[in-house]
Amino acid sequence: MTTSSLPQSLIATLPGGYYTDESVFALEQTRVFESMWTCVVRSADLAKPGAFKTVQVGRESVLVTRARDNSIRAFLNVCRHRGARIKTEECGEVKRAFQCPYHAWTYDLEGKLIAAPNLTKMPDIDRVEYGLINVHVHEWLGYVWVNLADEPVPFEEEVQGQVVGRLGDLDSIHNYGIEDLGLARRTVYDVKANWKLIIENFMECYHCATIHPELVDVLPEFAEGLATQLYVGHGAEFGDGVEGFTVDGSAGAERIPGVSEDQDRRYYGLTVKPLMFVNLVPDHVILHRIFPLAADHTVVECDWLFRKDVVDSGRDLESSIELFHRVNVQDFEACERTQLGMGSRAYAKGGVLVPSEHHIGGFHEWVLDRLGTSLA
Amino acid sequence: MIPACPLAALPRGEAFRLDTVEPPIAIFHTDDGELYAIDDTCTHQDASLADGWLEGCEVECPLHASRFDLRTGKVDALPAKLPVRTHGVVVEDDTIYVVPSDLPPNLPPGARAKTA
């Protein structure tokens, strides 16, 4: 990078074109989104065999479903006959098969071709060979990850390795029993910004005192501008007098049973590259799944998860949910504002990172490494 | 009487497609343990009913969900309009045999052209 002329306090960001150029985005689609594990669906949203969701992963529409044996399966959402999209809905349920609406090629829940007009007249068509194309699937924390690579890096290495790198061990996240929590709220944010701006924003807290007044009231150390993610195992402590992770510091819901004493009254934020955030607080978990659709367009789905008994009781969780909803809105507004500058000549060579943001340089190096490109 | 398959090769809930006859015949072993044989080809469009879904004494075509009564061959659900033929089934020495119907089949347009 062109760091030679910068004062020691600063390092360079990526040039603006990395956030606007569709050819960069195309490279990211193939070398990041289609080559890594991505968290796409909450397992409980696929309640029974035949329930399905369609999700965008890189350039591909992926059909995620539950098979007869209750296992999760994922397929490219493309008919093997003439390429029609099998399901255009975001979610739904089939009784026992996926049928292409064009010529009625019909696939079972395991993806095998089971029927088609005149199929018995074509006994040389292998029904597995001409089945829907499988996508690698892994379930963890009650969520489904998919990987479109032919030979994925092991999930443990790529995903769980990142969590260990942040929290120190896997127990620290398993304590929250995320797969046993209930969904209290899901909000989908349509963000007119490049996905990397959203990641970078989540990685630093230099902006916190300026745009997140409610969050800083609950977590006073955020006003220092240091990212909690810098220190392995560190969680930001609730301020004195703060009773819960809520918009006004009032008490939240009942603590999740497995949360340790060390984890009580603390907030842990994790970025799981490429496209996921996890936020852990004693009484709930906030999980973001990020879907980049274009260089300047990203959809973020955010789930608020509480103990099932808390969700089932129907009690008002608004003050808890409102806190991070505001943080999301504040962050995504900032990202959209930043996106507006990415195409400017003022940002052609990029901007700068202050010391409390220098670790974002590591993210940029990671991106460049994945893309196989170099700025030098 | 045409030998189809060993009884042991056709568990309950499954179907066997006998394609040594033209048009082919589908034999179903219901969950209740009954054996039925009907024309394998749906009368609406060329599809194998043996690939369809067996529920009770009905089979649902895998292509367009037409339903046929295995006992009578009659249509229970559209879009098929014409019945399939039913055939006799005999089990001897643990082998399933079919006694084909003498009636003319109701084949769908594509399949009719090919067998004509």
CATH homologous superfamily of B2-115 equals: Rieske [2Fe-2S] iron-sulphur domain (2.102.10.10)
DSSP H/E element including A161: helix A161-167
Share of chain A above pLDDT 70, in %: 97
Mean pLDDT (chain B) is 92
The pLDDT value given to residue A231? 76
The pLDDT value given to residue A297? 98
Point out the residue among B40, B63, B110 whose CB comes nearest to the CB of A104. B63
Beta partners for residue A76, in sequence order: A62
The pLDDT value given to residue B115? 46
Domain extents in chain B: 2-115
**Model confidence over A91-129: pLDDT tens digits?**
999 999 999 999 999 999 999 999 999 998 899 999 999
Q: Average pLDDT, stretch A28-35?
A: 98
Tokens describing residue A21: 């150029």
| Nearest C-alpha in B relative to A104 | B63
Contact A42, A142 (CB under 8 A): yes
Q: What is the CATH number of domain A38-153?
A: 2.102.10.10
**Model confidence over A2-15: pLDDT tens digits?**
446 899 999 999 99
Domain extents in chain A: 38-153
* DSSP state letter for A1: -
The pLDDT value given to residue A335? 98
Contact A146, A53 (CB under 8 A): no
Q: Is the pLDDT of residue B14 over 60?
A: yes
Phi and psi dihedrals of B24, rounded to 5? -65, 160
Point out the residue among B52, B63, B114 whose CB comes nearest to the CB of A117. B63
Q: Which residues of A touch B (CB under 8 A)?
A: 96-97, 99, 104, 106, 114-121
Contact B107, B115 (CB under 8 A): yes
Q: Is the pLDDT of residue A324 over 70?
A: yes
Tell me the pLDDT band of B5, cut-offs 50, 70 and 90.
very high
Q: Is the pLDDT of residue B116 over 50?
A: no
Tokens describing residue B113: 């052209």
The pLDDT value given to residue A230? 67
Rg (CA), chain A: 22
B62 shares contact with chain A (CB less than 8 Å): yes
CA A306 to the chain's CA centroid: 19
Contact A88, A50 (CB under 8 A): no
Q: Average pLDDT, stretch A328-353?
A: 97
Contact A72, A46 (CB under 8 A): yes
Mean pLDDT (chain A) is 95
The interface predicted TM-score of the complex, written ipTM, equals 0.83
Q: Average pLDDT, stretch A57-75?
A: 97
| pTM attached to this predicted model | 0.91
Q: Average pLDDT, stretch A203-227?
A: 91
Q: Average pLDDT, stretch A140-163?
A: 97
* Chains A–B, number of C-beta pairs less than 8 Å apart: 41
Distance set, CA B94 to CA B3, B91, B100 (Å): 11, 6, 19
The pLDDT value given to residue A224? 85
Give A-chain residues touching B64 at CB under 8 angstroms: 104
Q: Average pLDDT, stretch A165-174?
A: 94
B56 shares contact with chain A (CB less than 8 Å): no
Q: Average pLDDT, stretch B90-116?
A: 84
CB contact under 8 A, B46 and A120: yes
